Every structure is written in C-alpha cells, then in structure tokens.
Amino acid sequence: MQQRPLGRSGVRVGRLALGTMTWANQTDEYEARDQLAAFLDAGGSLIDTADSYAQGASEDLLGTLIQEFDCRDDVVLATKAVQRPGTDRRLDASRRHLLRALDASLARLDVDHVDLWQVHRWDSWTPLEETLAALDHAVTSGKVRYVGISNYSGWQTSRACTIQELKGSAPIITTQMEYSLLERGIEREIVPAAQTLGLGILPWSPLGRGVLTGKYRHSIPIDSRGGNPETSGFVGAYNNERAHRIVDAVCTAAEGLDASPGEVALAWLRDRPGVVAPILGARTTNQLISALASEELELPEEIITALEDVSEPDMGYPEAGWAQRR
C-alpha cells in the first residue's frame, strides 16, 4: 500500500485506514480478527477507534487483537475522546474528562501510549484553551505522540490551530471529517484551511454511509444498516434525488472500469487534495477486502471530472466567487 505523511508530521501511513466503530457491536471478535489480518496483509497501518465506540468495547477488542498479532510496532494507533453517550452531558472536552478518558483508553487498548489522540467533537461548554491545554499535557506526559481534531467547523479548526501555533505547543496534525462523493461540504472551508495549516484529512464514512456501494440502489437489504431500525436514519440521510444521481454515475463508471462502485468512490476520495487516508469502517471482512481493492484502482481523468460534476457541492459567498478572486 502506498504511504503518505500523516499531516505535518514525520510519520507515514498507508493511504487507506481501518475504522473500528462497528467492532464489538455489529462486528464480532472473529470478524474483527479477520479484518485486522486482511488490513495488515494489504500493507495498512493506521487504525482508528474511539472511547465511545461500543462504550469502550471497541478499544478493548482492538487492544486484545494487537497483542495477539504482536503488531503494535507496525501500526499507527489512533483513538478519540469527548463523546459521553447516555449521559446528561453528551460532549465533554474539559481537561478533567479528557485526561481521565485518555487513561481509560490506554488501559483498554493495553498500551502505554497512542500515536494519534483526537478531540472527537466540539464542546461549546468548555473554553477551547482548556481543551488544548489537555492535549499539550497528554503529549508532554508521553501518553500521546500527536494530536488531531474531528468534526470541527472551519472557524473552529483555524482557531484551534492558531492558538497552538502561537503557544508553540503540540501542533494539531489531522482533522477527521465526513467526506465522500455524497458529502463534499468540507470543500467549502475545511479543505482550504487544512491545506494552509498543514492538517491531514482523515475522511470518515468515505462510502457515503454505505450508499455509494450501490447496495441501496433498488432496495434496502435486511441485514444492512439501512435495514436496521436503530441505524436506518443514518443511512436515510442520503435517500434523495441528488444522492441517487451520484450513485448512478458511480455505478456507470464502475461498469466501464470493471470495478465495484465502492472501489470507484474510494479511489476518487483517496486522491482528493489534502486527504491522507479514508477510514474504512466495514461491518464484515468481505466488505473490507472489497474496499481495500481500491488501492489498485486509478481513475481516468474523464471519470474524475464526471464524478466531480455530478456531485459538485454548492459554493458561493464568501467561500467562492468574486470574494475569492485574485
């Protein structure tokens, strides 16, 4: 697998990452073991989890498998904190919570440090300076090597990075955002900010919540997220005419390239400006293997142009147009 720098750091990672949000929930221990084996065999290195995934059980399972595979030195281990589902305060980026959450993550993962620790969401209740101070402490304590953010808006991203730069503190090197042919909103502000600030973009849900695989094109499979009452709303957000046009275009391109729609969608995203590694959050090993096959696919320029045209996001003042012309 081709390697890329992880933002403005000296670390290089494979250009496809493994996501574990479904582990210990929709993906059992046996499937997770097979997924990790397939990912490592493909040359992957960046593995992403979070303390809130399956209420910590995802980290537990990942830690167990890393020990079993004896692959800690071969992977770049990333986790996240801030979310507190099922509590009165759903988002908590206070120093108190973050540092306690980090210690809990390290214990579950059975490691003495993580390579990338990310602030999962913006918390409007906590001063940003307090959150960033917690990140600095995590790095200076040796428990974290690098820090990143996730789901921050453009102004939040710029402010956080500027504060860190002015303090001379641990720089923010990545931003994890939803990004796919169905969700290109980050191109308005996040992508330009990331390129200016030296952040590597880690797209989550790169297959448009599964919709870009084409499996929802004519019906909703019973064993899919769309067929599950608990997760159907997550998928249903892309059940609209615009999404249907984009999926049709992806499927047409896939037929012409003798590839799967998922491979086409991932190959397009993988090579977007600023992207380091789309995060593959597969439920099954077969889904992961199919997604990993995109590593070998290079899209012709005419197909890239066609996909960009059909999925082009609305751009206007002040992000584009006359206000940005030189």
Please list the active-site residues. 53
* Cβ neighbours of 315 (radius 10 Å): 12
Taking CA atoms, 111 is separated from 48, 68, 95, 258, 295, in Å, by 15, 13, 21, 42, 30
Structure tokens at 209: 């919540």
Spatial contact of 268 and 307, defined as CB atoms under 8 Å apart: yes
Cα dihedral 155, 135, 108, 47, rounded to 10, equals 50
- Specify the 3-state DSSP secondary structure of 5: strand
Spatial contact of 111 and 75, defined as CB atoms under 8 Å apart: no
Pairing of strands 3-5, 12-14: antiparallel
Structure tokens at 14: 């494979």
d(Cα 211, Cα 179) in Å, to the nearest integer?
13
Residue 17 φ then ψ, to 5°: -110, 155
d(Cα 211, Cα 224) in Å, to the nearest integer?
11
- Orientation angle between helical segments 261-270 and 301-311, nearest 10 degrees: 90
d(Cα 188, Cα 165) in Å, to the nearest integer?
23
